[in-house]
Amino acid sequence: MYQSKWRIFTNHTILVLGALFMILPVWIAFASSTHTREYVFQNGLQFWPGGEFFSNYGAILFDAEATKGRVTALEMLFNSMVLGLGFAIGKVIISMMAAYAIVYFRFKLAVPLFWIIFSTLLLPLEVRIVPSYEVVADLGLLNSYTGLILPLIASATGTFFFRQFYRSVPDELLEAARLDGAGPIRFFIDILVPLSVTMIAAIFIIMFVVGWNQYLWPLLMTTDDQLYTIVIGIKQVYNSLYEGGQIPQFPKAFALTIMATIPPVLVVVIFQRMFVKGLVETEK
């Protein structure tokens, strides 16, 4: 296709500016995280990395004192990992099963149950946090991984995605499987699940990132430091920045921010094709 020289030039200029717009804040945070706190306090945010990379990140990772609590960033990363994986795995399994029942079976309560699942789309967790918190407290699940993960899974986005996908699977497969004498559980495990592998991977990646980045719910749920995810840790460090009349610990706050960002960004960049496919196809 014909493109003028000028058009090509402006295209690249605009895209480079766009990329800088996205990257610069994170880069400045990274560069500033590699200086001493006195230096950043006196000279402001830094564009070039300094020499304190290992001491700042080392302190954050292994010394609970640096993160202003009783947990190190390493433990927070572990909690985030549990939340991300637990959320993704739980959501994929539960929604695959529910969608299977809805698409492949004729049963009495199909319509009302479908509407119950659908109704969850109307009320995001953010809207019902206060009563949700009370329910979880009544069940004695505060400060537990179960209480952290299960309420987040109670939404239908995954179910709708798999419902859509199953409906695109040719009917002939089911007919053939039935002729061969496969029952419903056999068909699900031996045919439908293997067929869905790429879809499962795509939705898994998205859900992992969504789970890792959860903020409001873990904030309410975890009063015990031991269960802090790294995203919650950021808020704690940020809140205590100006405490105690000392020089604010900006570099370590930035170091924690960078560490919270790296895992989900890596996942998205490495599995880019799968991720984009999943995102574009689920949300339609």
Could you tell me the CA-to-CA distances from 100 to 122, 163, 166 in Å, in that order? 22, 7, 8
Q: How many CB atoms lie within 10 A of CB 207?
A: 25
- Does position 116 interact with another protein (CB under 8 A)? The reply is yes
Site string for another protein, 160-199 (x = CB under 8 A): -------x---x--xx--x-----xx--x-----------
Indicate the burial class of 18 (C-beta count within 10 angstroms; 0-12, 13-18, 19 or more).
Answer: exposed
Find the part of the chain contacting another protein (CB under 8 A) among 8-16, 54-62, 81-89, 192-200.
Answer: 8-16
How many Å apart are CA 5 and CA 151, to the nearest integer?
Answer: 55
Enumerate residues 48-87 that contact another protein by CB under 8 A: none
Find the part of the chain contacting another protein (CB under 8 A) among 53-61, 65-73, 191-199, 214-222.
Answer: 214-222
How many Å apart are CA 130 and CA 126, to the nearest integer?
Answer: 9
CB 61 within 8 A of CB 230: no
Q: Give the closest residue to 68 by CA, choosing from 231, 235, 188.
A: 235
Find the part of the chain contacting another protein (CB under 8 A) among 56-64, 71-79, 99-107, 189-197.
Answer: 99-107
CB 217 within 8 A of CB 148: yes
- Does position 212 interact with another protein (CB under 8 A)? The reply is yes
Nearer to another protein by Cβ, of 93 and 198: the residue is 93
Q: Give the closest residue to 231 by CA, choosing from 108, 90, 73.
A: 73
Q: Which of 64, 81, 82, 94 binds another protein (CB under 8 A)?
A: 94
- Does position 150 interact with another protein (CB under 8 A)? The reply is yes
72: tokens are 């190190």
- Does position 110 interact with another protein (CB under 8 A)? The reply is yes
Q: Which of 76, 88, 117, 200 binds another protein (CB under 8 A)?
A: 117
* Min CB(220)–another protein separation in Å: 7
85: tokens are 């994986």
Nearer to another protein by Cβ, of 130 and 197: the residue is 130
CB 210 within 8 A of CB 153: no
* Min CB(158)–another protein separation in Å: 9
Nearer to another protein by Cβ, of 72 and 261: the residue is 261
Enumerate residues 220-259 that contact another protein by CB under 8 A: 220, 231, 234-235, 238, 250, 253-254, 257
How many Å apart are CA 186 and CA 179, to the nearest integer?
Answer: 13
Nearer to another protein by Cβ, of 127 and 243: the residue is 127
